[in-house]
Amino acid sequence: MDSLCSHLQIAAANFGLTEVMPKILSCGGNIIIHLAPHPIVARVAAFTPEQDPQIGKKLEQELRVASHLHEEGVPVLLPVHFSQEGPLELDGHWMTFWEYIPQTALPFPSPSEAVNIVNTLTLAMEQYTGELPILGVWDRIHQSVTRLSAHPDDRIQRLIHKFYEIDQQMRAESQLLVPSHGDAHARNLMPSPRGWLWMDFEDVSLMPRYWDLASFVANLALFKGEQEPTFRFMISRPDIVADRDAFGFALSARILMSTLGNVDYAIAGHGDMEFACSQLELAGEFIYRVEHICKGP
């Protein structure tokens, strides 16, 4: 990490940023480094080119999508471009640069605000004409499913069985897929002085209809039940969810993806085991009920 920060200081100086003191803000899936005192952060990809030969291309795509959404009027965390366009490879790592947002306190969006925030994103994504991977974020979970295939927990095996059912239907209906953020949950909304900003566009993909809406509400509904206010607001409004079956399909798939992925990462030592176990405890029964819930009275 010290070597990376040293290389980052040198690169920043070449970009005209003086007296940079790198400050690591987080080391989750990606490493976020504030180039203090400047209002810029470096977002260092979790995967190296050896682990993912396509990482540079994916980061270029993320920057293009962020710029497109900004041009469409969607509030987003803005990329920062230096002398070169696109991501930078440094010390064996790929990274992008973004505006630094100071800690800001905002109340969690109300149901109507949440729907408006997601729908604004969805409408702008539908206008994106660049190339996107088909089922990209979903395909990544295939690796988790493979690793979990011999796990003795019956709950995991039942979820894997359901995963393959949904996977088959998704691929049979690939002509219905639409451009999506891919991971539009509330933790990918950043509170800022400008309001809520969308961020983390690394999972942009062609996904089933309602994917981003389902992504936002999936864990809210999973943990708080079918009376969760944002979930009830969504399914009670035909102008928001016109096709309840399609929404239920996306919601089931999103809960499956999140649960199996988090269990796999936690077992490997890269995730929150307590959270993953909580999801696993609830997911099977909730997915079973989703079809009934989304059909309504």
pLDDT in tens, 123-180: 999 999 999 999 999 998 999 999 999 999 999 999 999 999 999 999 999 999 999 9
Whether the per-residue pLDDT at 73 is higher than 70: the answer is yes
> What is the CATH architecture assignment of 2-99?
2-Layer Sandwich (3.30)
* pLDDT band (50, 70, 90) for residue 48: low
pTM: 0.93
Mean residue pLDDT of the chain comes to: 93
pLDDT tens column, 205-237: 999 999 999 999 999 999 999 999 999 999 999
Whether the per-residue pLDDT at 49 is higher than 70: the answer is no
Give the residue from 211, 186, 196 showing the smallest Cα distance to 132. 211
pLDDT of residue 50: 63
- Look at the domain 111-295 and name its fold: Aminoglycoside 3'-phosphotransferase; Chain: A, domain 2 (3.90.1200)
Q: What is the mean pLDDT of residues 62-87?
A: 91
Tokens of 139: 């395909």
Domain boundaries, the chain: 2-99, 111-295
Alpha carbon distances (Å) from 254 to 58, 145, 232: 22, 14, 17
pLDDT of residue 281: 98
Alpha carbon distances (Å) from 79 to 67, 143, 205, 285: 7, 30, 19, 41
Whether the per-residue pLDDT at 111 is higher than 80: the answer is yes
Q: Which residue has the higher pLDDT, 31 or 74?
A: 74
* pLDDT band (50, 70, 90) for residue 2: confident
* Encoded amino acid at 111, one letter: P
Q: What is the mean pLDDT of residues 277-281?
A: 98
Tokens of 137: 């974020």
Distance of CA 198 to the CA centre of its chain: 10
- The secondary structure of 22-37, three-state, reads EEEEEECCCEEEEEEC
Tokens of 83: 């002398």
pLDDT of residue 297: 58
Alpha carbon distances (Å) from 160 to 74, 144, 174, 275: 36, 10, 21, 19
Residue matched to tokens 């949904």? 166
State the pairing for strand pair 40-44/93-99.
antiparallel
pLDDT tens column, 18-30: 889 999 998 877 8
Concatenated DSSP letters for 162-203?
HHHHHHHHHHHTGGG-EEE-S---GGGEEEETTEEEE---TT
Instruction: Determine the straight-line distance between the first and last CA of the chain, rounded to whole angstroms.
Output: 56
How far apart (Å, rounded) are the C-alpha atoms in residues 86 and 78?
Answer: 13
Whether the per-residue pLDDT at 190 is higher than 80: the answer is yes
Q: What is the mean pLDDT of residues 268-287?
A: 95
